[in-house]
Amino acid sequence: MEKWILKYFTLIRVMIALIIGVAVTILMIYLISEYPGESLKYFFTGPLASKGRLFNIFEMAAPMIFCGVAIAVSFQADQFNLGAEGSFVIAAAVGTAFAVSTNMPAFIHIPLVLIVAGVTGAVWSLVPGILKAKWKASELVSSLMMNYVAFYFSLFLINSYFRDKDAGFLVSLRLPETALFAQFIPGTRMHFGIILAVIVAIAAYYFLYHTTSGYEFRQTGYNKKFARFGGINIIKVIIMSQVLLGFIAGVGGMSEVMGIHGRFLWQAPHGYGWDGIIVAIIGRSHPILIIFSSLLLAYLRVGGQVLNLMGDVPAELVNVIQALIILLITAEAFLGQWKYRITRRQAEKEEAAK
Partner 1 sequence: MNELFSSIFSVNFGFAILRVMTPLLFPAMGIAVSTMAGSQNIAMEGSMLIAAFFGVIVGAFTGSLWLALLAGIAAGVLLCMILGYFHLKLKADIFLSAVALNMFASGMTIFLLFMITGDKGSTSSLNSPVFPNLTIPLINKIPVLGGILSGHNILTYVALISVFLFYILMFKTPFGLRIRAVGQNPHAAESVGINVNRTKMYALMLSGALAALGGLYLSMGYVSWFSRDMTAGRGFIAIAAATLGGMMPLGTMLSSLFFALVSAVAIYIASLNIPSELIQLIPYLVTVVALAVFSGRAIKRKKEKEIEADKELETEKDE
Footprint of partner 1 (CB under 8 A): 32, 80, 127, 131, 134-138, 140-142, 144-146, 148-149, 151-153, 155-156, 159-160, 269, 274, 277-278, 281, 314, 316-320, 322-324, 326-327, 330-334, 336
- Residue 264 near residue 96, CB atoms below 8 Å: yes
Taking the complex as a whole, the smallest distance from the CB of residue 141 to partner 1 amounts, in Å, to: 5
As a whole number of angstroms, the distance between CA 260 and CA 224 comes to 41
What is the closest distance, in whole angstroms, from the C-beta atom of residue 107 to partner 1 in the complex? 35
CA 66/CA 73 separation, integer angstroms:
11
Nearer to partner 1 by Cβ, of 11 and 149: the residue is: 149
Three-state SS at 163:
strand
Q: What are the CB-based long-range contacts (under 8 Å, 24+) for 44-52?
A: 44/303, 46/302, 46/303, 46/306, 46/307, 46/310, 47/299, 47/302, 47/303, 47/306, 49/306, 51/187, 51/188, 52/187, 52/188
At 92, the amino acid letter reads A
Q: How far is the CB of 321 from partner 1 (least distance, A)?
A: 8
Helix (H, G, I), strand (E, B) or coil at 191: strand
Between 125 and 255, name the residue whose CB sits nearer to partner 1. Answer: 125
On whether the CB atoms of residues 189 and 59 are closer than 8 A, the answer is: yes
Q: Which is nearer to partner 1, 198 or 297 (CB)?
A: 297
Residue 110 C-beta: closest distance to partner 1, Å: 29
CA distance linking residue 174 with residue 263, whole number of Å: 5
Nearer to partner 1, 114 or 122 (CB): 122
* CB 84, CB 249: distance < 8 Å: yes
In whole angstroms, the minimum distance from the beta carbon of 327 to partner 1 comes to 5
Least gap, CB of 108 to partner 1 (angstroms) = 32
Q: Shortest CA distance to 279 belongs to which of 2, 70, 97? A: 70
What are the residues whose beta carbons fall under 8 Å from the beta carbon of 202, sequence distance 6 or more? 287, 288
CB of 127 to partner 1, least distance (A): 7
Q: Which is nearer to partner 1, 265 or 278 (CB)?
A: 278
With contact defined as beta carbons under 8 Å apart, do 158 and 164 qualify?
no
> For residues 138 and 233, which CB has a smaller minimum distance to partner 1 in the complex?
138
Q: Which is nearer to partner 1, 24 or 112 (CB)?
A: 24
Find the shortest distance in angstroms from Cβ 12 to partner 1: 17
Q: Give the Cα separation of 245 and 118 in Å (integer).
A: 10
Q: From the CB of residue 98, how many other CB atoms can be counted at a distance below 10 Å?
A: 20
For partner 1, the closer of residues 163 and 261 by Cβ is 163
